[in-house]
Amino acid sequence: MRKKAFPPIVLALLLIVVGVAAWLIWRSNNPGSDATVEVTLYFANDRYVQFGDANEPQVLPEKRTVRPGVRNLPETVMDELIAGPDTAGLSTVLSNLKVHSVSVREGIAHVDFSRDNMNGGSLSETLLIDQTVRSLTALDEIEAVQFLIDGEKTESLMGHILVIDPVRP
C-alpha cells in the first residue's frame, strides 16, 4: 500500500502560513524596527550666531519624525543633529563630528564623541553642548548628558567649558 503524498499546492500553502506566522512572531518581538517617533531637535539660531544679539535664543527647536530602526533613539537623535536642520535660519555645529556611541544609564545619556575635528571657539563649544543637551533631554528617559571623548570623561570638549560632570539643561 502506498502512502498518499501531500499535493504540491497544499505543501506550498503550508509553507506560506508557517512563514507568515514566523514573521508575525518576529515582528511582535521587534516592534521598534518600523516605528516612527516624533522628536524635538535643537539647532543653532543663525541670527544669534551672525549678530550675537543677546535677545535672540542661541538654539531653536525643530520637530522631526524619525525611524530609529535597530539603533536606540538617543543615537538616532545624535545622527539627526549631525545631519543638520531642515528649517532655514538654523544650522548645526555637529556636522563634522563623529559620535562613537550613545548609551543611557540611570537617566544620563553618555555621548562618546571622537576627538577628530573637536575644535573651535567658545561659541562653537557652547552651541555643541546646548544642541546636544537640549535635544537629548527632550526625550522622556534622559535628564542629563555626560560627554565623553574616545570613551573617556573629559574636562572640556574644546577647552572653554567644563563638562566633567553630567550637564543638565
| Cβ-Cβ contacts under 8 Å for 62 (sequence gap 6 or more) | 40, 41, 42, 43, 85, 86, 87, 90
* Beta pairing class for 108-113 and 144-149: parallel
pTM for this prediction? 0.79
Q: Is 39 contained in some domain?
A: yes
Q: Is 116 exposed, middle or buried (0-12, 13-18, 19+ CB in 10 A)?
A: exposed
CA distances in angstroms from 49 to 33, 52, 59, 117, 151, listed in the order given: 37, 6, 9, 20, 30
Q: Is 144 contained in some domain?
A: yes
In tens, the pLDDT along 91-145 reads 999 999 999 999 999 999 999 999 999 999 999 999 999 999 999 999 999 999 9
The domain in which residue 64 lies consists of: 35-153
What CATH code is carried by the domain that includes residue 43? 3.30.300
Q: Is 86 contained in some domain?
A: yes
In tens, the pLDDT along 20-72 reads 877 666 555 555 556 889 999 999 999 999 998 889 999 999 999 998 877 78
Q: Is 162 contained in some domain?
A: no
Distance (Å, whole) CA 169 – CA 161 = 14
Number of domains the chain is built from: 1
Q: Is 161 contained in some domain?
A: no
